[in-house]
Amino acid sequence: MATQRTRRETLLGFQPPAIGEEEIEAVVETLRTGWIATGPKAGELEERFAEYVGARHAVTLASGTAALHLALLAARIGPGDEVVTTPITWPATANVIVHAGAKPVFVDVRAEDLNIDPDAVAEAIGPRTKAIIPVHLAGQPCDLDALLPLGVPVIEDATHAVESVYRGRKIGSIEGSLCAAFSLNATKNVAGAEGGILTTDDDELAAEIRELRLMRRKPGALYDIRVAGFKANLPDLLAALALVQLEKVEEHAAVRRRHVAAYDAAVAELDGITPLARDPRDVHALHIYVVRIDPERAGADRNAYRDALAEELIATSIHFLPLHRLTFYRELLPEQPPLPVAERAGDEVLSLPLSPAHSDEDVADAVDALRRVHAAVSS
C-alpha cells in the first residue's frame, strides 16, 4: 500500500481544458485578422481533421449535437421513423432523434464496457427503423463489426472518440458507417470551447450538411436559399483553438495514458471498484475514466463515494444516468421495457478526474483520496 499524502487544500477540477500559450496566441492572431466568424480557419480545420481520421469529408459545426442532428435530417429521418440508440449517453444523443421528429428506441448495453449491445440492437430493428446511433463510450469503440451488417445506416456518436481506433481502423472513417459526429466541447480531447465535426465518405451527405448548417448567400445584394437551414456553423475563433489542440492530440494522449495507468494500479487494490473494460484490440481515446462501485464489496454506494470525494476536494462526474429513467423520456416512452444492465450501471458509475491539464501530483491526490474513502467505508 502506498504512503498516504497530505489532503488537498484546493479543488481538483474534474476535466479542465489544457490551454497553453499556443492556443491563446492562435485566438489572438485570429482576432487580429478581423475574420472571427466562419472562414479560413474553419476550412483549415476541416482539411486537417479529415486527414487525421482518414475521411473524405469533415464538416465543422456548432456542436457535436448539431452534427448528429443534421446527419439525421440529411439522411431524411423524421416523423414515423425510429432510431435505435443507447441509454448510457448524454441526453443530446437521443434529443436529436426527437428534434428530427423520430422516435428513439433504447436498448440495453454490455456489462463490461457499457457500449450498446449489438444483440439487443438486432432484436429492436423493425420496419420503422431508419438508423442506429451507437456511442463510443468514454473512448472505447463499440462493436461496429456486429452493427454494420444489420442493414441499417449507422451514425456514430464519436464525441468521446477523437483518438479511437477500432480493430486497426480509425473512428471517423470506418467503411460502411454513414458518418461520425465528434465534439469540440471544452471538456473534450480536442477542445475548441464549443463546436463539432462530422466526418463521412458520402459526398451527397457532406454537401447536404454543409447546406443545412448555414444559409448560403450569393455575392451581391441578391441571395437565395434551397432549404430552411440552421445556424450551426463553427466560428474561426473556435476553429483556431481547435487547430492547436489537434496538433497536441498525441502529446495530450500520452499524459492521459500515464494518468490512466496510475488509476488502474490504484483501483486494482480496492475491492468493489472496477474500471470499464478497454479492449486491447482497439485504441481507446481515454476521454473519461469511469469506474463502477459495487456497494456490497466497496462498503458504500456510488453517491456516498461521490460525496466523500467532494469533501476531499476531488471533483467527479457521472457518465451516465440511463436516459430512459429521466423524466422527459420516462414520460415520452411510458411502455419502455426495463434495461437491467444499463439501470444497474446508472447506479454504480463514477468518473474520476482526467485531463492533460492535471499534473501527476493531481492524479496522485485523487488516488490517495479514493484510497482514504475506501478505507473509511469498508473498514
Which phi and psi (to 5°) does residue 97 adopt?
-65, -45
Q: Is 165 within 8 Å of 283 (Cβ atoms)?
A: yes
- For residue 363, the number of C-alpha atoms closer than 13 Å in the C-beta half-sphere is 23
Q: Is 283 within 8 Å of 164 (Cβ atoms)?
A: yes
Give the SS3 label for residue 286: coil
170 is catalytic: no
Strand partners, 256: none
| Sequence-distant (≥ 6) Cβ neighbours of residue 295 within 8 angstroms | 272, 301, 302, 348
Catalytic residue among 188, 218, 231, 248: 188
Cα dihedral 6→10→16→19 (10° resolution): -100
Q: Is 249 within 8 Å of 192 (Cβ atoms)?
A: no
Q: Specify the residue for cell string 476531488.
A: 314
Active site residues: 188
